Amino acid sequence: MAPKRSERLRHALSAALIALACLLAPCGTLAAWAAYDLADTSRYVTTMAPLAGDPAVREAVADTVGAGIMEQVDDRGDVRPLRGTVRPFVHDAVHSFTGTEAFRLAWDSGNRAVHDAVLRALHDESDGDVTVDLAPVTAQVKRQLAVDHVPFTNRIPVEHTEVSVLPAQELDRLRKGFHVLEVAGFWLPVAAVVFAVTGIAVAACRRRAVTATALGTALGGALLALAVTIGRHLTLADLPDETQQPAAGAVYDALTATLRQACWLLIALGLTVALAAWLTGRRGRLVRRRQAPPEPAPDQARQPTPDQA
C-alpha cells in the first residue's frame, strides 16, 4: 500500500510541476521579449530601420510631418495667405524626402531619440509628457523645397514642435508594469526550467514526463503566437484613423518579429523533443521484446517431461 501511495504522490507532484513549467514558458518568453528586446535601444533602432522604406510608413510620416508644417504656417499670420499655394508642394516635398538617404538617417535618429526619451521617463520620476521635436525634420523638408525652387519657401517657419509620444497620465502605470517586466523577464524563464527539470526528476516514468513537458511547451508557444495575432487585430481596431492601419500594422509586425520567432522556436523544440521521446520509448520496447525468451508452444507445454512420465 505504501509504495502505491508514494507513486501516486510522485505522479501528482510531477504533473503539478510540469503544468507550472508549461504555463510559465510562454509567459516568460513574453516577459523576456519585452524586457530585453523592446527595452534595448540598439535593437529597437535596428528593428525599426527597415520601416523607413515601407510605403505605408512613409505615407504616414509624410502626412504627419506635412500637417505639422501646415500648423506652423497657420500660426504665422504673414504666411497664412499662402496656405493653399504651399500645401500641395509641402506634401510632395515631404513625400519625396521620405525616399532619400537623409530621411533614413533622420528616421533612425528619431527612433533612437524617442526610445531614449521613453526609457528615461520609465526609469525616473518625471511627471511631464514624453515628447519629440520635429524641427530637424521640418528643416530637412524646407531645404528640399528650396532645392525644388518652391515659391516663398524661405518664409516657412522652422520652429521646435514638440510631439507628444507618451502622455503623462500613463507614465505611472507604465513604470510599474515596466519594473515588473524587468524582474519577470529573468525569473519566469528560470522558474520554468527549474519546475520542468524537477517535475521530470520526481516522475515515476521520466520518459512520459519529458513527453508531457515537451507537448505542453509546444502548446504554450502556439497559444502565445495566437495571442500575438489577436493583439495585432485589437491594436489596429482601436486606431481612430483607419488610414493609419497599414503603417501601424507594419510597425507591430516589426516589433513582434522576435516574439513570433520565439513562439515558433517553442513549438519546434517541444514537438522535436516529444517525437524523440516517443521514438526512444518505442525502440526500447522493441529491444526488450527481442531480448525476452520465447514462450513455449501450447502443445509443448502440455507434454510431460521424462521425470513426470
Domain spans of the chain, in order of start: 2-40+181-281, 56-172
Neighbouring CB atoms inside 10 A of 241's CB total 9
Neighbouring CB atoms inside 10 A of 261's CB total 11
Give the model's pLDDT for residue 299: 54
Distance CA 114, CA 208 (A): 49
Give the model's pLDDT for residue 229: 94
At 309, the pLDDT band (50, 70, 90 cuts) reads: very low
Given a contact cutoff of 8 angstroms between Cβ atoms, the answer to whether 29 and 263 are in contact is yes
Place of cell 513625400: 95
52's CB contacts (< 8 A; 6+ apart) are 58, 98, 103, 104, 107, 108
| 129-139 tens-digit pLDDT | 667 666 666 67
Name the amino acid, one letter, at 70.
M
User: Which one, of 173, 146, 171, 140, lies nearest residue 158 by Cα?
Assistant: 140
- Containing 281, the helix (H) or strand (E) segment is helix 257-291
| 50-102 tens-digit pLDDT | 988 888 888 887 777 777 666 666 655 555 555 555 666 777 777 777 887 77
Distance CA 286, CA 138 (A): 75
Cα dihedral 257/262/268/269 (nearest 10): 160
The length of the chain in residues reads 309
- The packing angle between helices 245-255 and 41-48, to 10°, is 130
* Of 9-13, 154-158, 182-186, the least confident: 154-158
Give the model's pLDDT for residue 112: 84
Q: Is 242 in a helix, a strand, or coil?
A: helix
**Structure letter (DSSP) for residue 308:** T
* Of 101-115, 147-161, 261-275, the least confident: 147-161
Phi, psi dihedral angles at 130 (to 5 degrees): -85, 120
User: Which one, of 87, 66, 76, lies nearest residue 155 by Cα?
Assistant: 76
Q: What is the CA radius of gyration of the chain?
A: 32
Place of cell 535618429: 109
At 227, the pLDDT band (50, 70, 90 cuts) reads: very high
Give the model's pLDDT for residue 26: 94
Cell numbers for 81, please give them: 495667405
The rounded percent of the chain whose pLDDT value lies above 90 is 28
pTM listed for this prediction? 0.76
